[in-house]
Structure 1
Amino acid sequence: MRKIYFICLLFICNGILAQKKDKLYPVTIYEKIWQERNSDARLKMIKTIWLEDSTFEDPSASIKGITAFNNVINEFYKKIPDAALTSGPKIVKDNYVSWDWKIQDSKNKLIMGGREFARLNGKGQISKIISFWNKDATLSEAEVLKNLEADNLKIVEKYFESLFKTKDVNAIAPLIDDEAVYNQATGLPYGGTYKGFDEWTKMFAKSAELFDLQIEREPVYFSDPSKEEVIIYFVINCKAKKSGKTLSMPISEHFDLKKGKITAIRLFYFDTKQFAEFLKSRK
């Protein structure tokens, strides 16, 4: 008898926990609805948590019903087609849920922030949403660093692709600061310090006279957004034009960036002496 009682109690407890867990289900779907660009697909999702007497209010709209709510989101994406929405942790009180949200554009620029209040009907649906705007919202330090890291990685990836894959040197010009410094090992025929894009292109041209290269191993990217530094590690396979010999060599490039531009590059060869001798050798 005690065993049966315990099992029943366990089922009841599990049921209560499941109810608490599922309580946020309509809010989860609501957030996915706002992230869905396709109007028809979004409308199907809306119907699962929204009723014809459900309402949505914010400073720009006050509507009721399924189709009207879908139209609000359609208009939103017409105005901000590249919007990316993120939200914070949820606070639950009885049948009310509240949370903060932010909208950024494709360049990670903050457009707006605010706070959402949802009233649930206890049946897995939303009966009312009130959305407050905060145009003075700011990104947290962690969000700023995350966005900065993403931007800097894109810049370095573009640099790598243009220089080593498409071999379009001119494509890297917009990525380089006017005073940017490139440091090559002094033991190399094209070694030294080069300042500015024009000097960089002369160095690239000089190295191209000595060898051809292919990427043997794709780069691995490391970054420290607090220092605006990106480091990449990759392996090149070179063919010396004097001797026709080939050599595989690991490379590390250290990038400094500021305000969306590369300000310095320091290049490290796994064995600079070996690479220099490889370039000088003859048939």
Structure 2
Amino acid sequence: MKMLMRKIYLLCFLFLLNGLSAQKKDKLYPITIYEKVWSEKNSETRLKLIKSIWLEDSTFEDPSASVKGITAFNNVINEFYKKNPDVVLTSGSKVIKDNYVTWEWKITDSKSNVIMTGRDFARLNGKGQVSKIIGFWDKEVSVSEADNLKKLESDNFNVVAQYFECLFKTKDFIKMSTLIEDGAVYNQAEGLPYGGTYKGFSEWTKMFTKSAEFSSFEIEKEPVYFSDASKNEVIIYFTIKSTAKKSGKSISMPISEHFDLKNGKIVAIRAFYFDTKQFAEFLKSRK
């Protein structure tokens, strides 16, 4: 009897393990198609692939382009192959966390010489489609350079993590001020009641104070951190729960914030809301 129960437990465990593995593979499906999209040189065939994972509000951004929609994304790849007709694209293993995926890639010529390397970050919508791709380009680096970049990446990550902790949890603005470079710029979406460009930490605090007049904020989903040391840039994705002061209603809103750093301090922040118009209307609503 005991032997039978052990076999049953083992079968259940294997079934659960296989189920988790299948879920992971299913989540990677749009990324698999995305990679096929980049390898497909025929525009019409590629367009059909794009339509299966891309929406009209899906966005692609890298140092060469910033576009939204299916046709615009296909045109980016058309232009890429006009300039690089014989290249081969390959990619590394994927790291998945919630609906975010990141992986490294490289581009080689017909003689297998490396032309460019980089890293992509993808946000998925949970329905088999891609909401956003951000691509970073890197140059081939030596081991020592790679070690330096790794340390810089860690340092930048820690600065941003401390900033996030000060702003949303400890409310320690004195410590936060030590993380901000003099004259640092914060860009908030113009459509928000506290939207605009704020320069210098004293102006930042005015913006934080003004935003608190419209709503209270709490973290609903902890941030996912992505870092590109070669550009001194950190990107975080998180979700806030906001309760409007005027209406008393609450809303959940995914946000990404792009941090630029220099010499261990933040020099610029750009905040992006999943739906800025909806969030602005929510803050202003009285009902």
TM-score normalized with structure 1 length: 0.51
1:38-57 matches, cutoff 5 A: none
1:109-188 matches, cutoff 5 A: 140-188=144-192
Match of 1:243 in 2: 247
Matched, 1:220 2:224: yes
Give the aligned length: 145
Deviation sequence 1:94-152 (CA, Å, 0-9, x none): xxxxxxxxxxxxxxxxxxxxxxxxxxxxxxxxxxxxxxxxxxxxx81111101100100
Matched, 1:192 2:196: yes
Deviation sequence 1:233-259 (CA, Å, 0-9, x none): 000000000000000000000000000
Q: Partners of 2:274 and 2:174 in 1: how far apart?
A: 28
Residue in structure 2 matching 1:253, options 253, 257, 263: 257
Deviation at 1:170, TM superposition (A): 2.1
AA aligned to 2:198 is: Y
Match of 2:13 in 1: none
Mind listing any 5+ residue stretches in structure 1 that lack a counterpart? Answer: 1-138
Matched, 1:205 2:212: no
Mind listing any 5+ residue stretches in structure 2 that lack a counterpart? Answer: 1-142
Q: Partners of 1:142 and 1:221 in 2: how far apart?
A: 19
Which of these two proteins has the greater Rg computed from alpha carbons?
1
Matched, 1:272 2:267: no
Secondary structure of the residue that 1:140 maps to in structure 2? helix
Secondary structure of the residue that 1:187 maps to in structure 2? coil
Secondary structure of the residue that 2:178 maps to in structure 1? helix
Q: Partners of 2:220 and 2:260 in 1: how far apart?
A: 25
AA aligned to 2:204 is: W
Deviation sequence 1:37-58 (CA, Å, 0-9, x none): xxxxxxxxxxxxxxxxxxxxxx
- Where has structure 1 moved over 4 Å in runs of 4 or more? none
Deviation sequence 1:197-234 (CA, Å, 0-9, x none): 00000000000111001100000000100000000000
